[in-house]
Amino acid sequence: MIYLIRLLFFATMEQIRINTTEGRSLLIMAGDMSDVGDLLPATGLFIITDSNVRRLYGGSFPPGEVLEIEPGEKSKTLTVAGDLCRRLLEAGADRSAFILGFGGGVVCDVAGMVASIYMRGVRHAFVSTTLLSQVDASIGGKTGVNLGDYKNIIGTFRQPEFVLCDHTMLSTLTEEEFRSGMGELVKHSVIRDRNLFFDIMASVDRILERDPALLGDFISRAVKIKAAVVRRDPLEKGIRRILNFGHTFGHVLETSCRIPHGVAVIQGMLIAAELSVWTGEMPHSEFRMLEVALAETGMVPDYELPANVVNLISRDKKSQAGSLNVVLLRSVGRAVVRRLSLTELAAFVNYYRERKRIVNQ
């Protein structure tokens, strides 16, 4: 009876489903983390989290073995993933184990990866605790770790059974981490939904105040965009590539300047928008509108692209035989994927670095 009441309770929350040939995922928006136990098996639960999240929310974890990792990007390595597998084995996890990643994008990427390789795959789900993971990283089934400075070069596709997003947890994020999440929120609007972009721009101050109702509305609109793209292309063979908008340059900035992922993506988006004008894909007026609107939010950083940027990008997994797929804009709200040679990219980078040098003189 209590179980049925609980199920009815979950049914009243906003749910978004991703059903694909590669797996199914239930996304629970505006959930309550303390209810997660009702979605989990009674035994065999292993919770992967980081030390910050455990300190803040460990008291609300459902009963299970807790495996803690250090917070931050440095934990996205094969060594950490291997160590987690070893700890699972030592703790007696068998093929019926259920892994719950409880944390931000780093925890979700690593926990998802471990769940997809441990004993050739065990069940898993996420409680998503950062703005960035609630709008993006926990959704869609991409897992990954880095290899040195190369981001997400090792990974798998595996849909989490569910993702629970409790927006009240966002109140404890640092200002910097919250703004990082804004980067991926804005990205979803820029690639697919012009109205959402203008709505976000008109509400930035209230979003930054973390008004939960408003935040919930924007997160759910962004997640619907991502879910719709993932449903069409779960393995990123085509349309799903547009979700990487801003990431080609963003990953380079993230690694070379050691800045949070979403902060790097914001600058990466503006560089990609400028590339869209340079290639003739988008009118300059659209770029200026985007640039001015983002500048007014105070969210855009201004880091210098390293001199070896093309070399770094050429080893990116989007690059093949001297050319790579780039995500460009035709307008704000409409992204397209185009093939660009590394020679063209190098010419653009020269132009971009020179323009920045003159502007900053």
**Under the rule (CB under 6 A), what is the footprint of ligand NAD?**
50, 52-53, 56, 71-73, 76, 103-107, 109, 129-130, 132-133, 136-137, 140, 142, 152, 169, 172-173, 177, 180, 184, 260-261
Indicate the residue among 56 and 289 with the shorter CB distance to ligand NAD.
Answer: 56
Residue nearest to ligand NAD (CB): 105
Q: Shortest gap between Cβ of 260 and ligand NAD (angstroms)? A: 6
Question: What are the structure tokens assigned to 194, written together?
Answer: 């012009």
Helix, strand or coil for residue 175? helix
- Considering the complex, state which of residue 62 and residue 260 has its C-beta at the smaller distance from ligand NAD: 260
Residue 170 CB, nearest distance to ligand NAD (Å)?
6
By beta-carbon proximity to ligand NAD, the closer residue of 185 and 270 is 185
Where do runs of H (alpha helix) occur along 233-332? 247-257, 261-278, 284-297, 309-314
Nearer residue to ligand NAD within complex by CB, 177 or 193: 177
Whole-angstrom distance, CA of residue 225 vs CA of residue 59:
33
Q: Which residues pair with 247 in a beta bridge?
A: none
Of 261 and 318, which has the nearer Cβ to ligand NAD? 261
What span, in angstroms and rounded, lies between the C-alpha atoms of 64 and 340?
49
CB of 29 to ligand NAD, least distance (A): 16
Minimum separation from the CB atom of position 216 to ligand NAD (A): 15
Extended strands (E) in the chain: 15-20, 23-28, 45-50, 65-69, 98-103, 123-128, 145-147, 150-154, 162-165, 319-320, 323-331, 334-341
**How far is residue 235's CA from residue 157's CA, in Å, rounded to a whole number?**
7
Cβ at position 107, least distance to ligand NAD in Å? 6
